[in-house]
Structure 1
Amino acid sequence: MVEPEKNPQEEKPKRRVNLYWFYMFFLSFLLVTYFINSRYSTKEISWLEFDEPMLRMGDVAKVIVVNKEYAEIHIKKDRLNQERHKDVASDGPYSEVGPHYIIQLGSIESFEQKLSEAQQEFDLEDKIDLRYVTRKNWSDVFAWLLPFLFIVLFWIFIMRRMTLGPMGKGGNSLFNFGKSTAKLMGKDAKSKVTFDDVAGLQEAKVEVMEVVDFLKNPENYTKLGAKIPKGVLFVGPPGTGKTLMAKAVAGEAQVPFFSLSGSEFVEMFVGVGASRVRDLFKKAKEKAPSIVFIDEIDAVGRSRNKVNMFQANDERESTLNQLLAELDGFGENTGVIVLAATNRPDVLDKALLRPGRFDRHIYLELPNKQERKEIFEVHLRPIKRADGIDVELLASLTPGFSGADIANICNEAALIAARKKKDLVEKEDFIEARDRVVGGLERKSQIISPKEKRIIAFHEAGHAVVSWYLKNVDSLMKVSIIPRGKSLGAAWYLPEEYKLVTKSQFMDQMCAALGGRAAEEITFNEISTGALDDLEKVTKQAYGMVAYYGLDEEIGPLSFYDSTGQNEKLMVKPYGEHLAKLIDNEVQDLVLSMYKRAKELLSEHSKELEQLALLLLEKEVAEREDLERIMGKRNETPQSV
């Protein structure tokens, strides 16, 4: 009969003997002994107190000279009840045994002489028994030993804490600083994230699922001569799902999964990083086939070029060298796949990125509209929402949002609905959550003077009117003069997603951005500082058109864009003074021409500008219906690219 296999989780852990109880008992014993010995100490007297009241009365039974330093006086039992001995007669269990008094001896010969003369003078019937003994004083021994015992016990306590780490798990041991700190996930500690929770990354999932399938069914690939990829690098902006993809791999793969951050390799001790790399791959090889995930690998994989020579970190460089050797060196690395994630691939060392180390580079871009819709559907699963919520509209309202941003919007919508004591999350809550994530928290309590509020209203109305009559500007959804975040007002658009942008689109967008400042100048014949963000955006767009995209006729098809980032480190412009002056002039002419165009457009539609501004002063928010009522239906046919 085969016995059923025991579940290791059901076995009761063996109880360890805690030595702290033994230490505490021993220390308590020493302290009790010391205090008892101190509590029942004898009374110290002088020779005069010993001579007349005791020797003359015949109370002394014996005298014991200890170490030739002091004499212990023992009183006869039948004399202890006398009034003169009441202090020592009631002094605990040692009262009858004694000694009852002590005398400090200056000279043993002098004491013997005085004692002999006193006995002759008083003519005592019973001669006093005088003895000499050599004895160790345990009180002095304890007084000398206790401080050392405290130091030893404290040192043992500190060393055990450093050995065991927090909660007795040995994680941050002083003697384990060279060991890997990677967290192991196996079958028993499986990640709850699966590929079903990863939306909008279809191509990346296909590649990663192939790696997982290789670990599960390697014979399907090896029979054709294929080799297992050694490394997969996830590259993309923050929040695009790099770490989420690794968690999904941990949830899907039925193999040990080691996860850690790149910064965990680097410590203040020299050689610790390289030691941790060796220990990590040693553990991974012992449990092969296995997967190692290194998040934020740029913390340890930075380039070793000459530009960073003055910023070099020997510890980081030695760690990187060890990592390169483990990934593709003379040693065997069979059955271990390394996953890594970073949003800064430009700073990584080229030796780390070559085939044979990280064979596959998976780029995770910001999701498009369809992918955002899939991501919304994933994050909307646990939310109790009202019927009729258009996920397509939510995806359209969030261009340029990452998966993390979308998750934040869903969570903010639920919090807003809970704050309003609603049972379900409604469409308005999602719109408000989107506005809050983009623009910040509403500040309705901020005090704005009527004059400033009027300037803000005409400024935002200027943006709205100019963008409404330009065909290459995104569709306007609403205008608000409610302070939100750092802005005092905002115009909300429904952007279209383009892979290419034409020159006419650039110019229309710049003109719309300058509409607020132009409205202030036309209405009040004065301008304010409220157009700072608009001017910054327009200036960057103008320099991009002239110096990067080659869209200027005077400069021609030249681009000074540096994709490698070397020029930023060298702080040198890639063109001369004459061309720099020409670029500045062209940028200035382009911005001034768009500003002039915005003023002409607002002068033509001054009536609509005033109506919209007055509506904003009254309601603070103008919705799409209000805009159509004032300015009519807008032609939503953008220029094709």
Structure 2
Amino acid sequence: MADNNIKKNSGSGTPNNNKKPQGGGGKGRFNPKFNPIYVYGIIILIFIALQYFRSGGSPVETNWREVKNTMLKNGDIKKIVVVNRERAEIFLKDSAYEKYKSKFDQGFGTPSQAGPQFYFIIGSVDTFEQNLKQVQADLPEKDQVILTYETRRDIFMEVMSWILPILLLIGIWWWIFRRMSRGAGGGAGSNIFNVGKSQAKVFDKDSHVSTTFKDVAGLAEAKQEIEEIVEFLRNPGRYTKLGGKIPKGALLVGPPGTGKTLLARAVAGEANVPFFSMSGSDFVEMFVGVGASRVRDLFKQAKEKAPCIVFIDEIDAIGRARGRNPNMGSNDERENTLNQLLTEMDGFDTNSGVIILAATNRADILDRALMRAGRFDRQIHVELPDINERGEIFQVHLKPLRKGEDVDVSFLAKQTPGFSGADIANVCNEAALIAARRKKETVQKQDFLDAVDRIIGGLEKKNKIISPSEKATIAYHEAGHATVSWLLEHAHPLVKVTIVPRGKALGAAWYLPEERQITTREQMLDEVCATLGGRAAEENVFGTISSGAQNDLEKVYKTTYAMVCYFGMSDAVGNVSFYDSTGQSDYSFNKPYSEHTAELIDHEIKDLIDVQYQRARKILADNAEGHKQLAEKLLEREVIFSEDLEAIFGPRPWDPQKGPEKKIEVPMADNSENKPLTSPPTTSPKDSPKDNKESA
């Protein structure tokens, strides 16, 4: 079943965000949590206030002209103090304070009567003394001003000048690591000291998982292996009395979307023991040693709650084989984490009662020490579902849908070969959306077929502008695929052909592939021939070729390369396989064969493709009339189905259900005739389609 269709559990451990705020106040009142940063802020405000109010207020700025013409002339100044040889502070007489009160700011900053009340900046002390002496020469003796000098040091500002940068750095450091610890999965109280702690989610009696094995459709063999582990935790005496031991670990291996994580959730819901869930990427951090520290902390918590289960999803993030890192010579934190994981799973100090579950879709790159018995005793393969299992998965995902009477589960299972559980869930959801878009009351059979087409081929683009010549090329191209595949015994049976653009493809042909466990040489050659039918049709009909066969040629080359290099299906190269299942050749700089063998491989691949191309051209030339009728129907209706091919060519001669109506001569797969086939073109397209995908 699909990994991405798991209902979120809101157990008793989930915080309730809808609770009313505590407190005895009115509506909407809440009590904020205490935070130490409030204390630091209050202390800083107190220091600023003391500095501001210690002198009773700040003096008001003035200038020498006003001092000379008003204050000195009227005899209002008691004394002048030159501070640090740059600032002159004016102290007024008590009798003159009320006269200048209108110039003061009425508030907390009002200068006190003791002074200073005004200040101004002097340029030079000598010049200021000379100017003051000239002014006072004309003043009576009683109005003479006392001039004093003073050197002040603001201890508070000097201390703050070197404390503030340090406090700023500490604040930034604290904020960064607080954010990092939160990003690593910690709560509001997380800090730098918790970076090395395990970030695993614990599911126990307080936060129970509701998923059970009944919610997992298909996967019968995998469920049986997993259920045995759960049964051992429930009833260990049944196995220990015979001398058996519980497997220490089980590795779930399979393609994406097949239900590995869902199986793990079912184990968490069925086992009734503490369940630790963690992703492989949670161990990897930017700090050296954090991954190993989290592994130690995870197993320390697991031992305290044993018996329990530890689940590590996507274990390939830390379990990659050591020595394969392309960054040669560098210290790889993942290798340190893997070493610690190997030691904890089965090292000198064994972990009794701790069972390890892990999931990955890249088992081929895992370290061999991690895969050995004693660490992962079992490898449970979770493969793509077969036709019966797809029917079970459809039953699960069809339950919430309001489906029509024409919906047949077995028919849907047949139409979705190679689909994973996640794909089937997507089909059901897409069908419901399509039905809603069409304002239907129920989800009908056609909606599911359109959903399958949407997922395989992409979004339908009916408004895409295509010239008539391009449309003709596309029609004959797709009709060529359909004709050749219909007339070949081992080619996949056709479902429908369309020339309506979907995604990046200008046309597509849908097939219903047989579910084979092994593939013979003849089957692969027939599939190559059918894939080349589009390019062969263009050359036969128009006398030229277009870029629309790019996707076809890519698939043909990969298939023939695999035949020669992997499956040993070439007489010239022989029964050899250059495929490396261990993945050791990923970072190698040489090929596992000589230059002579490389040339031989190139010649063999080219010969295979050329023979099948000429075979496809001959089939189309022998059935040119039927090919033309099919292309004309495509141009007229834009979509044709297998019934239309049966009406033109008759039933397939090897169809065991319908039986042959007429014998159709088809060249054999090993036909080596390479004579060019010429046919006068009916039209000459100006532009060729750039991209034409054949969707299987």
TM-score (norm 2): 0.77
Shift of 1:185: 2.5
Q: Aligned to 2:217, which of 199, 204, 214?
A: 199
Corresponding residue number in structure 2 for 1:287 = 305
Alignment coverage as a number of residue pairs: 620
3-state SS of paired residue (2:272): coil
Residue 563 of structure 2 contacts residue 570 of structure 2 at CA under 8 Å; is this kept in 1? yes
Corresponding residue number in structure 2 for 1:473 = 491
Q: Aligned to 2:34, which of 17, 38, 54?
A: 17
The worse-fitting range, judged by mean Cα deviation, of 207-216 and 456-465 is 207-216
1: CA distance between counterparts of 2:547 and 2:98?
Answer: 103
Residue 171 of structure 1 contacts residue 181 of structure 1 at CA under 8 Å; is this kept in 2? no
Aligned counterparts, 1:294-313, within 5 A: 294-305=312-323, 310=328, 313=331
Say whether 1:175 aligns with 2:193. yes
Distance change (3 Å), C-alpha of 1:144 and 1:465:
same
Say whether 1:544 aligns with 2:559. no
1:227-271 alpha-carbon deviations (Å, 9 max, x no partner): 222111111122222222222222323222222222232333322
2: CA distance between counterparts of 1:475 and 1:234?
Answer: 34
Distance change (3 Å), C-alpha of 1:308 and 1:230:
farther
Residue 301 of structure 1 contacts residue 320 of structure 1 at CA under 8 Å; is this kept in 2? yes
2: CA distance between counterparts of 1:30 and 1:430?
Answer: 72
3-state SS of paired residue (2:309): strand
Distance change (3 Å), C-alpha of 1:543 and 1:30:
closer
What is the root-mean-square deviation in Å for CA atoms of aligned residues? 4.2
Residue 56 of structure 2 contacts residue 112 of structure 2 at CA under 8 Å; is this kept in 1? no
Residue 42 of structure 1 contacts residue 100 of structure 1 at CA under 8 Å; is this kept in 2? yes
The worse-fitting range, judged by mean Cα deviation, of 245-254 and 430-439 is 245-254
The worse-fitting range, judged by mean Cα deviation, of 339-348 and 585-594 is 585-594
Shift of 1:477: 1.4
Q: Aligned to 1:186, which of 177, 201, 204?
A: 204
Residue 507 of structure 1 contacts residue 594 of structure 1 at CA under 8 Å; is this kept in 2? yes
Say whether 1:27 aligns with 2:27. no
3-state SS of paired residue (2:206): coil
The worse-fitting range, judged by mean Cα deviation, of 502-511 and 333-342 is 502-511
Q: Aligned to 2:91, which of 73, 89, 96?
A: 73
Distance change (3 Å), C-alpha of 1:409 and 1:141:
same
Q: Aligned to 2:334, which of 316, 319, 337?
A: 316
Residue 475 of structure 1 contacts residue 494 of structure 1 at CA under 8 Å; is this kept in 2? yes
Shift of 1:142: 5.0
Shift of 1:392: 1.2
What residue identity is the alignment partner of 2:38?
Answer: W
Shift of 1:440: 1.7
Shift of 1:575: 4.6
3-state SS of paired residue (2:243): coil
Say whether 1:564 aligns with 2:582. yes
What residue identity is the alignment partner of 2:36?
Answer: L
Aligned counterparts, 1:10-159, within 5 A: 16-32=33-49, 34=51, 40-41=58-59, 73-77=91-95, 80=97, 85=100, 96=113, 98=115, 100=117, 140-141=154-155, 143-144=157-158, 150-151=164-165, 154-155=168-169, 157-158=171-172
1:282-336 alpha-carbon deviations (Å, 9 max, x no partner): 1221222222222222222222358969376442222211111101111131221
2: CA distance between counterparts of 1:7 and 1:173?
Answer: 22
Corresponding residue number in structure 2 for 1:249 = 267
Shift of 1:583: 4.6
1: CA distance between counterparts of 2:457 and 2:518?
Answer: 26
2: CA distance between counterparts of 1:8 and 1:459?
Answer: 58
Aligned counterparts, 1:603-614, within 5 A: 603-614=621-632
The worse-fitting range, judged by mean Cα deviation, of 611-620 and 524-533 is 524-533
2: CA distance between counterparts of 1:467 and 1:336?
Answer: 55
2: CA distance between counterparts of 1:346 and 1:442?
Answer: 38
Distance change (3 Å), C-alpha of 1:96 and 1:229:
same
The worse-fitting range, judged by mean Cα deviation, of 189-198 and 616-625 is 189-198
Aligned counterparts, 1:149-548, within 5 A: 150-151=164-165, 154-155=168-169, 157-158=171-172, 160-162=174-176, 164-165=178-179, 166=182, 169=187, 173-305=191-323, 310=328, 313-548=331-566
Shift of 1:600: 2.6
1: CA distance between counterparts of 2:119 and 2:363?
Answer: 86
The worse-fitting range, judged by mean Cα deviation, of 606-615 and 439-448 is 439-448
Aligned identity (percent) is 51
Distance change (3 Å), C-alpha of 1:128 and 1:223:
farther
Distance change (3 Å), C-alpha of 1:414 and 1:65:
same
What residue identity is the alignment partner of 1:538?
Answer: V
Distance change (3 Å), C-alpha of 1:48 and 1:439:
closer
2: CA distance between counterparts of 1:269 and 1:242?
Answer: 30
The worse-fitting range, judged by mean Cα deviation, of 571-580 and 40-49 is 40-49
Q: Which has the higher helix share?
A: 1
Distance change (3 Å), C-alpha of 1:155 and 1:223:
farther
3-state SS of paired residue (2:355): strand
What residue identity is the alignment partner of 2:479?
Answer: A
Shift of 1:27: 3.5
3-state SS of paired residue (2:328): helix
3-state SS of paired residue (1:310): coil
What residue identity is the alignment partner of 2:364?
Answer: D
1: CA distance between counterparts of 2:212 and 2:418?
Answer: 25
Q: Which structure 1 residue ranges, 5 or more long, are not aligned?
A: 1-5
